[in-house]
Amino acid sequence: MESSILLNDTVIGVISLSTLLFQGTATLILLSRLLKGAMRRPPLKPQLPDPEMLGKVSVVVPTLNEAERITPCLQGLGQQSYEVREIIVVDSHSQDGTQELVKTARLHDPRFRLITDGPLPSGWVGRPWALHNGFLHSSPRSEWVLGIDADTQPQRGLVASLVKVAEEEGYDIVSLSPQFILKDAGEWWLQPALLMTLLYRFDSAGVREQSPDRVMANGQCFLSRRSVLDALEGYSCAASSFCDDVTLARDAAKQGFKVGFLDGKNLIRVRMYEGVKETWNEWGRSLDLKDATSPPQVWGDLILLLLTQALPLFLLIVFVSFWLAGNHFLSLELAIALNLILVIIRFALLFAVFPSYYKDKSSLVKSLLFWLSPFADPLAVLRIFLSSLQTPKQWRGRTYSHE
């Protein structure tokens, strides 16, 4: 009996010491990233354009069967002022009425222009191919090219604000984190956990001076100098990437261009996916960012997510049960304290990201599940693991062959 107890104490001691070693190291890395957020740039605010901004920006919107959600995007872009020279919608032969909606928008605003891209070349993913075509068809007189996704809702003053901050702070590329629109209860529970995997791995929006291999970007609202896209040969460097925004931004950063990722919750909203199933399937396919990241970095980030996001709540319960069973020794108590700190950090971060979610009367009750999203963390991290092991075969209505 005594030998059994000693064995159990030994096993528990080894587990708690191992936890302190590996989890403690991961926690220091996590804290080094989160603490940068205290000095990050405040969220951007809507701006009015200056006269010298006249016609500076060409907007490119890639579409494929977006009829059910593109109207708010078209309306929002139509509200932008004279800084927008043209709004090019690059449609990949939609069959649901998307093109008709764009043609109707053009009747009220001649800046709208509809083009269709050619057959998808081998080695290209649909989205960067459409953006590349839009860039090639845009006016060479525009100094900036702004990629906007069809599921976004641009707010008045978005483009002027983007151009101002880019020119005043010397950015060559700048993209925005949006304000998310969630509807289903399951989305309010799972989506924040998935979003948190990005915050744990990378600096938050508004943090300055990121190293090229840690740069973040969001293609839903992605502004680039035309001269930069010329130097990069358009979107060709991200042709085969399912996270083309991050791939292009990191490639630009490696070539010495200044890239910014800023908080745009006051400027643009997005309704990304319909329901928790689509959120799991579609967003989960790209969150690993493996197309823009070296394999060692991908797996290092996955280990960090496992140790600091997926396991702390579970380990806290397990270690406390050991302690209550009479195992009172220092390494176990320190492991309990460490996991308690990680759980507190996770719940505290909810307050930091809550403003990044759009709330209306219809979502007030469902949004309460947002505060329970830490319990979805193991699923979110599992989704990143699964995505890291797979190459997408379907993406936004297209099927891809990987022969």
pLDDT digits (tens, 9 = 90+) for 15-29: 888 899 999 999 999
Question: Tell me, what amino acid is at 20?
Answer: L
Tokens linked to 242: 């399912």
| pLDDT of the residue at 211 | 85
| pLDDT of the residue at 257 | 96
| pLDDT of the residue at 249 | 96
Residues contacting residue 286 through CB under 8 Å, at least 6 positions apart? 242, 243, 387, 392
Pick the CATH number of 51-178+218-293 from 3.90.550.10, 3.40.50.12280, 1.25.40.340, 3.40.50.2300: 3.90.550.10
Q: 279 burial class (0-12, 13-18, 19+ CB within 10 angstroms)?
A: buried
* Sign of torsion over alpha carbons 214, 215, 221, 226: negative
| pTM of the model as a whole | 0.92
d(CA 322, CA 324): 6
| pLDDT band per the 50, 70, 90 thresholds, residue 401 | low
Cα-flanking dihedrals φ and ψ of residue 46, to 5°? -60, 145
Tokens linked to 103: 């043609």
| pLDDT of the residue at 258 | 96
Average model confidence (pLDDT) across the chain: 92
How many other β-carbons are positioned within 10 Å of the β-carbon of residue 339?
A: 25
Mean pLDDT computed over 289-312: 95
Contact by Cβ (8 Å): 46, 266? yes
Instruction: Indicate whether 403 pLDDT > 50.
Output: no
Instruction: Indicate whether 394 pLDDT > 70.
Output: no
Q: Where are the domains of the chain?
A: 2-37+296-391, 51-178+218-293
3-state secondary structure of 8: helix
Q: Which of 157, 180, 155 is nearest to 359 (CA)?
A: 180
- The tens digit of pLDDT for each residue in 111-125 reads 999 999 989 999 999
* Higher pLDDT pick, 252 / 212: 252
| pLDDT of the residue at 14 | 85
Q: Which residue has the tokens 């403690």?
A: 24
